[in-house]
């Protein structure tokens, strides 16, 4: 079985590929990774040389290349995206190009080449912001940032290819991930690496926005359950981490890094900052047997230890983007 995985030089896709390469199952797939290696992708995330892994550097908007790869693939798991909300506020063009046009290019090509399951990795942010309760999968999409609007567009396009053309599309919408190999612009690795360097951390607004934090391995387990046991045309929310305000999260990170509140700088709020995300993931639990395994406090402690031990991984990435966002 040949599996095409896009965007797997990034945080979540690379964890997903490592999980499948570690598997000793007789039906473990041969994996082709397609990744453009933008600022967010690095080959250091991949086990190059593994006998079941092939890496292709390229753009998901390159129809000719995508056609060649989907013609050799039985299934697709699509992670590639521009993924950082703050960057989408500074400029949305790359988000529309990669997230919308790139996804459409992949969907067209998968259809032309008779690909089986196509897992589209979407996000909880497509639902917008919710003050109380949790979103079920049928909830209307109401994205607020250019990032989430581009993800909602690709999410709906993917579902449209199922309804219109019968393509075996499955969509996942997951909450905030944390763990090793996350690019040090997202809040968890940004705060950890700043604190390890003795630098202050920028907390937006009053720090009262709430996110549901899920370990990246739990997300990857959910994605693979959707690939192997999910139903065509269905959406699966993936959540069940721990809900925390950004202030509470900061407190845990300060503790884990042995730092005090004087290392926190309250800064201007993000424009259009969504207050809270929360997905109802009971469908994935009852239908697929999905269950998150990692407890947040120990997961964060392990993540801090990983960043402490792997400066060689993140220092060049921080230098790569300079003081631009991190």
What are the residues binding ligand NAD (CB under 6 A)? 6-7, 9-13, 35-38, 40-41, 59-61, 79-83, 98, 102, 121, 123, 151, 174, 176-177, 183
Strand duo 2-6 + 235-238: pairing: unpaired
Q: Which tokens go with 280?
A: 């109802």
Contact call for residue 203 and ligand TDX (CB under 6 A)? yes
Nearer to ligand NAD, 200 or 280 (CB): 280
Contact call for residue 125 and ligand TDX (CB under 6 A)? yes
Nearer to ligand TDX, 211 or 215 (CB): 211
Nearer to ligand NAD, 79 or 281 (CB): 79
Nearer to ligand TDX, 115 or 326 (CB): 326
Do residues 82 and 99 make contact, with C-beta atoms less than 8 angstroms apart? yes
Do residues 91 and 82 make contact, with C-beta atoms less than 8 angstroms apart? no
Give how many residues touch ligand TDX by CB under 6 A. Answer: 17
DSSP 82-106: ---HHHHHH--HHHIIIIIIIHHHH
* Residue 140 to residue 126: CA distance in whole angstroms: 9
Do residues 150 and 99 make contact, with C-beta atoms less than 8 angstroms apart? yes
Compose the 227-266 pattern: x for residues touching ligand TDX by CB under 6 A, - for all others: -------------------x--------------------
Residue 204 binds which entry of ligand NAD, ligand TDX, none, CB below 5-8 Å type-dependent: ligand TDX
User: In terms of Cα–Cα distance, which of 212, 156, 189 is closest to 10?
Assistant: 189
User: Could you tell me the sign of the dihedral formed by the alpha carbons of 176, 182, 185, 190, in that order?
Assistant: positive
Is residue 147 among the annotated active site residues? yes
Contact call for residue 202 and ligand TDX (CB under 6 A)? yes
Compose the 6-35 pattern: x for residues touching ligand TDX by CB under 6 A, - for all others: ------------------------------
Is residue 125 among the annotated active site residues? yes
Reported for 51-57, long-range contacts at CB under 8 A and 24+ positions apart, including other chains, are 52/21, 52/28, 53/17, 53/21, 54/30, 55/9, 56/32
* Least distance to ligand TDX, CB of residue 152, Å: 11
Residue 12 binds which entry of ligand NAD, ligand TDX, none, CB below 5-8 Å type-dependent: ligand NAD
The helix/strand/coil state of 313 is: helix
DSSP 9-33: TSHHHHHHHHHHHH---TTPPEEEE
Residue found under tokens 């109380």: 132
Residue 257 binds which entry of ligand NAD, ligand TDX, none, CB below 5-8 Å type-dependent: none
DSSP 44-78: GGS-TT-TTEEEEE--TT-HHHHHHHHHT-SEEEE
Of residues 259-298, which lie at the interface with ligand TDX (CB under 6 A)?
A: 270
Is residue 124 among the annotated active site residues? yes
* Residue 301 to residue 303: CA distance in whole angstroms: 5
Nearer to ligand NAD, 119 or 288 (CB): 119
Residue 294 binds which entry of ligand TDX, ligand NAD, none, CB below 5-8 Å type-dependent: none
- State which of residues 187, 220, 238, 288 lies at the interface with ligand TDX (CB under 6 A): 187
* Least distance to ligand TDX, CB of residue 246, Å: 5
Spot the catalytic one: 16, 147, 277, 290.
Answer: 147
- 146-173 per-residue burial string, b: 16 or more CB within 10 A, e: under 16: bbbbbbbbbbebbbebbeeeebbbbbbb
* Least distance to ligand TDX, CB of residue 178, Å: 9
- Catalytic site positions: 124-125, 147
Q: Which residues bind ligand TDX (CB under 6 A)?
A: 83-86, 123, 125, 176, 186-187, 190, 202-204, 209, 211, 246, 270
């Amino acid at each position: 079985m040949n599996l095409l995985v896009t965007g797997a030089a990034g945080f979540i896709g690379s964890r997903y590929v490592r999980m499948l390469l570690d598997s000793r199952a007789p039906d473990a797939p041969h994996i082709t990774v397609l990744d453009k290696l933008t600022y967010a992708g690095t080959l250091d995330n991949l086990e190059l040389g593994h006998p079941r892994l092939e890496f292709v550097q390229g753009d998901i908007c390159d129809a000719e290349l995508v056609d060649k790869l989907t013609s050799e693939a039985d299934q697709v798991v699509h992670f590639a995206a521009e993924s950082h909300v703050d960057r989408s506020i500074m400029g949305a063009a790359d988000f529309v190009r990669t997230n919308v046009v790139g996804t459409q290019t992949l969907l067209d090509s998968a259809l032309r080449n008779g690909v089986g399951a196509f897992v589209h990795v979407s996000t909880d942010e497509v639902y917008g912001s919710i003050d109380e309760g949790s979103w079920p999968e049928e909830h209307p999409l109401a994205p607020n940032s250019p990032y989430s609007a581009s993800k909602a567009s690709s999410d709906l396009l993917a579902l449209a290819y199922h309804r219109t053309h019968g393509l075996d599309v499955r969509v996942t919408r997951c909450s905030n991930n944390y763990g090793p190999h996350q690019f040090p612009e997202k809040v968890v690795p940004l705060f950890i690496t700043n604190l390890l360097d003795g630098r202050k951390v920028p907390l937006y607004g009053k720090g009262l926005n709430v996110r549901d934090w899920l370990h990246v391995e739990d997300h990857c387990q959910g994605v693979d359950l959707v690939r192997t046991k999910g139903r065509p045309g269905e959406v699966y929310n993936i959540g069940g981490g721990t809900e925390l305000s950004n202030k509470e999260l900061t407190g845990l990170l300060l503790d884990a890094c042995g730092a005090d509140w004087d290392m926190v700088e309250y800064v201007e709020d993000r424009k259009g900052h969504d207050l809270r995300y929360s997905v109802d993931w009971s469908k994935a639990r009852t239908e697929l047997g999905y269950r998150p395994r990692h407890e947040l406090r120990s997961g964060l402690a392990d993540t801090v230890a990983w960043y402490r031990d792997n400066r060689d991984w993140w220092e060049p990435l921080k230098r790569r983007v300079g003081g631009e966002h991190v």
